[in-house]
Chain A
Amino acid sequence: MSENVDATLAPQRLGPPRSPISRLLESRLIGWVALAAALLAPFVTASPYSLNVMTTAAIFVLLASGLNIVVGYCGLLDLGYIAFMAVGAYTAGIISKSFELPLLFTIPAVLVMTILAGLIIGAPTLRLRSDYLAIVTLGFGEITRITANNLSVTGGPSGIFGIPGLLKIGGLDVENPAVLYYLTVLVVSLFVLASARLGKSRLGRAWRFVREDEDAAEAMGIHTYKVKLLAYIFGAIWGGLGGVLFAAHLSAVSPQSFIFLQSALVLMAVVLGGMGNMRGVVIGALVISLLPELLRDFASNRYLVFGLLLVVVMVFRPQGFWPARGYERERATVDVDPPAVATEQGR
Chain B
Amino acid sequence: MKTGTRKTVLLVIGAAMVLTTAGCGGGLLSSGASGAATPSGPVKLGMVVPISGSSAPTGAYMKNGAQLAVDEINKAGGVLKGRKLELMVEDEACDAQQAVASANKVVSAGVVVSVGGYCSGATLPTLPIFQKANIPMIIPAANSQDLVKQGLANVFLINGTGKQQSTTALAFMKKSGFTTVALVDDNTSYSKDITTETQAQIVADGSVKVLLNTSVTAGESDYSAVVRAIMAKNPALVYWTGYYQEGGLIINQLKKAGFTGKVMVADGSVDPSLPKIAGAGAEGVFATMTQTPDTIKGAERWIANYKAAFNADPGPYSTQSYDAVRLAAKAIEDAGSTKGADIIKALEAIDGFSMFSGPLKFTPEHTLSSGGFVILVIKDGKFILNALQP
Contact = CB atoms under 8 A, between A and B. Distances in A.
Interface of A: 28-29, 32-33, 36, 39-40, 42-53, 56, 146, 149-150, 156-159, 161-162, 178, 249-254, 256-257, 293, 300
Nearest to B26: A45
Contact of B100 (A46, A146, A250): A250
Given A48-B129, A48-B133, A254 B12 contact: no
Chain B contact surface mostly: helix
Nearest to B2: A28
A159 B97 CA distance: 13
B101 A49 contact: yes
Interface in B20-66: 20-21, 24, 26-30, 34-35, 52
Interface in B264-286: none
Interface in B200-238: 215, 217
Contacts of B128: 162, 251
Contacts of A156: 187, 189, 192
Interface of B: 1, 5-6, 8-9, 12-13, 16-17, 20-21, 24, 26-30, 34-35, 52, 94-97, 100-101, 104-105, 107-109, 120-122, 124-125, 127-129, 133, 144, 146, 150, 187-189, 191-193, 215, 217
A256 B96 contact: yes
B26 A254 contact: no
Nearest to A149: B187
Contacts of B97: 56, 250, 257
Nearest to B188: A157
A50 to B, nearest CB: 7
B16 A40 contact: yes
Nearest to A178: B28
A254 B189 contact: yes
A24 to B, nearest CB: 14
B104 A49 contact: yes
B13 A42 contact: no
Contact of A257 (B28, B95, B150, B187): B95
Given A49-B105, A158-B124, A250-B96, A28 B5 contact: yes
A254 B192 contact: no
Contacts, number: 126
Contacts of A33: 9, 12
A254 B5 contact: no
A53 B13 CA distance: 22
Nearest to A252: B125
A43 B27 contact: yes
Nearest to A42: B28
Contacts of A42: 27-28
B16 A32 contact: no
B108 A50 contact: yes
B124 A252 contact: yes
A158 B187 contact: no
B108 A159 contact: no
Nearest to B16: A40
A131 to B, nearest CB: 25
A256 B119 CA distance: 11
A40 B104 contact: no
A304 to B, nearest CB: 13
Given A42-B28, A49-B101, A254-B189, 11 more contacts: A33-B9, A42-B27, A43-B20, A46-B26, A47-B35, A49-B108, A53-B104, A150-B215, A158-B121, A158-B193, A257-B96
B217 A161 contact: no
B202 to A, nearest CB: 20
Nearest to A46: B28
Given A28-B1, A150-B187, A48 B107 contact: yes
B104 A51 contact: yes
Contacts of B13: 36, 39-40
Given A33-B12, A49-B107, A49-B108, A44 B20 contact: yes
Given A49-B105, A158-B146, A159-B96, A256 B27 contact: no
A40 B17 contact: yes
29 contacts: A32-B5, A33-B12, A36-B12, A40-B20, A43-B16, A43-B28, A43-B29, A44-B20, A45-B24, A45-B27, A46-B30, A47-B104, A48-B129, A52-B101, A52-B104, A53-B101, A53-B104, A146-B217, A150-B187, A157-B187, A157-B191, A158-B189, A159-B96, A161-B124, A250-B97, A254-B96, A254-B121, A256-B95, A256-B96
A156 B9 CA distance: 48
Given A29-B9, A157-B192, A159-B121, A47 B108 contact: yes
A46 B27 contact: yes
Contact of B125 (A46, A146, A251): A251
A251 B96 CA distance: 10
A20 to B, nearest CB: 18
B52 to A, nearest CB: 6
Given A43-B21, A44-B26, A256 B94 contact: yes
Contacts of A250: 96-97, 100, 125
A190 B100 CA distance: 26
A158 B108 CA distance: 26
A48 B187 contact: no
Given A161-B125, A256-B96, A29 B27 contact: no
Nearest to A158: B189
A164 to B, nearest CB: 11
B91 to A, nearest CB: 8
Nearest to B127: A161
A256 to B, nearest CB: 5
Nearest to A29: B5
B340 to A, nearest CB: 14
B24 A256 contact: no
A281 to B, nearest CB: 20
A249 B97 CA distance: 10
A43 to B, nearest CB: 4
A46 B29 CA distance: 9
A122 B70 CA distance: 56
Contacts of A50: 108
Contacts of B17: 40, 43
A304 B328 CA distance: 39
A303 to B, nearest CB: 10
A314 to B, nearest CB: 27
B125 A48 contact: no
A149 B34 CA distance: 38
Contacts of B192: 156-158
- Leading 5 A-B pairs by shortest Cβ distance: A47-B108, A252-B125, A49-B108, A158-B189, A52-B104
A56 B102 CA distance: 12
A36 B108 contact: no
